[in-house]
Amino acid sequence: MMHVEIWSDVVCPWCYIGKRNFEVALAAFEDRDDVQVTYRSFQLDPGAPRESEGDLADHMSARVGRPREESLARLEEMTERMRGAGIESRFDRARVGNTRDAHRLLHLAAQHGIQDAVQERFLKAYFSEGEAIGNTETLQRLAAEAGLPAAEAADVLAGDRFATEVEDDQQVARGFGIGGVPFFVVDRAYGASGAQPPEALLELLRQARAESACDGVSEG
């Protein structure tokens, strides 16, 4: 079984594009049924408040000290890039917030075998629907819509369960030298940074498969 780990954040547009590109690559991969995919936690802004005032353009401008007009232009460019990947984004509706709780729920989702569905629901909610991704009631509803038991999601959000796992993911990322996401790691041996095109991700999978086959022959 090949294990693909994808470090990403649910408020990262490149991560959404990277997810789509990886899905295309995986669909074309000959051994796709032997691939396990795990989404790992990475927070672009771990110090962000649970919910923020102002729109995304204001938030971007404040973080990096650029004029609002420049931030709006960058968001318009990203809207086109996401549309090219089949994603309809509404940055004018995006509600910035801390993603730590979303990542904790994604660890719960992994235990239930529905991590991809919950990841997809969170991404769509943030980028297309204007949902408050840092609000606990919103997160519980979104997680339930994706198939997580509502009571379990509520229990996680009421406490600090999976906080250690979220930090461990980010510690591993630092150990790998991951400074930005998405970042794809196959069998802890092969990596690719950024929203690579499907062709590049497919080649990554095939390379890992070929190397694994060679190792098996050598060991035999």
pLDDT tens figures, 26-67: 999 999 999 999 999 999 999 999 998 889 999 899 888 999
Return the half-sphere exposure (C-beta side, CA atoms, 13 A cut-off) of residue 145: 12
Handedness of CA 190, 35, 14, 200 (dihedral sign): positive
Total number of residues shown for the chain: 220
Total Cβ atoms within 10 A of residue 148: 26
How high does pLDDT run on average in the chain? 95
Burial of 190 (0-12, 13-18, 19+ CB in 10 A): middle
Confidence of residue 219 (pLDDT cuts 50, 70, 90): low
Q: Kindly calculate the radius of gyration of the chain based on its CA atoms and give it in whole angstroms.
A: 18
Strands 35-41 and 190-193: unpaired
Label residues 35-60 b or e (16+ Cβ within 10 Å = b).
Answer: bebbbbbbbeeeebeeebeebbbebb
What per-residue confidence (pLDDT) applies to 215?
65
Residues 135-181: pLDDT tens digits? 999 999 999 999 999 999 999 999 999 999 999 999 999 999 999 99
Sequence-ordered list of residues with C-beta below 8 angstroms from that of 211, at least 6 positions apart, any chain: 189, 190
Widest CA span of the chain, in angstroms?
A: 62
The 3-state DSSP class for residue 38 equals strand
- Report the percent of the chain where pLDDT is more than 70: 97
Strand order in the sheet with 190-193: 35-41, 2-8, 183-186, 190-193
Residues 117 and 105 sit within 8 Å (Cβ to Cβ): no
CATH number (3.40.605.10, 3.40.50.11540, 3.50.30.20, 3.40.30.10) of 2-219 reads 3.40.30.10
